[in-house]
Structure 1
């Protein structure tokens, strides 16, 4: 009995074609793509596997759903771009580049090989959606503490491997207990959610905010040195101070104390966190509504 192969739809700016993965080359690529659920690693593996068949000098992959932008290699004059889709699910856009044009035969082969990439990308998408739901604080819609711990370990490894900077900002809302005591926990919840939203609006797209616990947040800054992190922290502080929170007939002004630290050569996650946390408590001791560097 002949085994039926699943048809994979590949949507391209050049063509729309349904292809089947049946030969050994497809099997080799598909097997390699089963080893990870990280988008950037999937793209890197796929491009490495097809290099001999379809030579290329550079690659771009973007996925707006997960705010991803992966770039690698040399950006050249000629390119082919594919919007990837399976059923009704968008899986991002892949662009290959090189100095000479891609032939029709190469494009046809590429569209066939892309079938191997579709389902691993969908699996990665489903995995990260589930992860995102598990890692979101329901009140503030910021990432939660578990997401921070996982993300910090990953980014420390990435920063060490690639000689990049990594900085943390600890943010603690000033006199938060008084807000709960004087106006009730509903007002306190509104203050937390509002502060998180203000910080998100202030931060860059590549930065991540986490609710660390209670009224304390932490911001992770990728490829950001201590001076730049301190400037971002000051911008966050100023932005929180400039907002007014209306609750019933009451008008509240909220401030925050912030501590900043940057990854050092001998740091662990714990030591990096401790310096930022200590700097934040120093800001509180010095009068609150300020930024201190650890």
Structure 2
């Protein structure tokens, strides 16, 4: 019997923020602010958290910094929420090293972005090595800014042949139909989440997607999710419509989303600085004006919910 006999994890339903990496004024990782963000994520009623991924400026972090972040996050979380560790990297050595570090630290899950230019048996071999090194749950990140991402056939091949492959994070163009195809092809036994395609949240919920991985505004997203689950669909849509101008601003580019989110974290008194590492640049005066307006809106909405 193949992996289609698996059942998806009963938890991990709802909002699973991808945590940003805070930096001190000397550009070192700010562990204390990261710990505050973990506490905030838990108190906000989230279903889990993801650390060290794209929103966490993964590409700017050294391997040593990534391992420090893994250990600090797992230790401070202390099994309060499922914690997913990103082991995405540009080479297989680093992916396996981070996967192993996540297992040693005691993480629940690892996430790894699909390496470029691999498919079929080569892709299966790559992910088998990563899965063998890591904890018992593997989430694969199907990410593409320009096309439809992984072939459905490759996803199903991995699902059939890698026992630990239990979650898929879809972040591609036209994600909606792909959610439905994969859910149907896996008999709804593969945990599905959406990230960058959060603008289609209500549609994705209607399709049966299990979780969403935004990088901020988790208080608001949790409320939208809870309203939907309570079948208060119109109220969920009304609240979602209130943040669409904010999402429109941040989704101009991933760098804008990261910078905005860090500014919000400072306003929320979670981060000390909104510093981002290169190549992410600061906002000009027009962006700052828009960001300030949107941040005030977020704070107001969150206060009303709380």
Say whether the fold is shared (TM-score over 0.5).
no
Q: Of the two structures, which has the highest relative contact order with CA contacts closer than 8 Å and spacing of 6 or more?
A: 2
Structure (1/2) with the larger helix percentage: 2
Q: Normalising by structure 2, what TM-score?
A: 0.21
Q: Normalising by structure 1, what TM-score?
A: 0.22
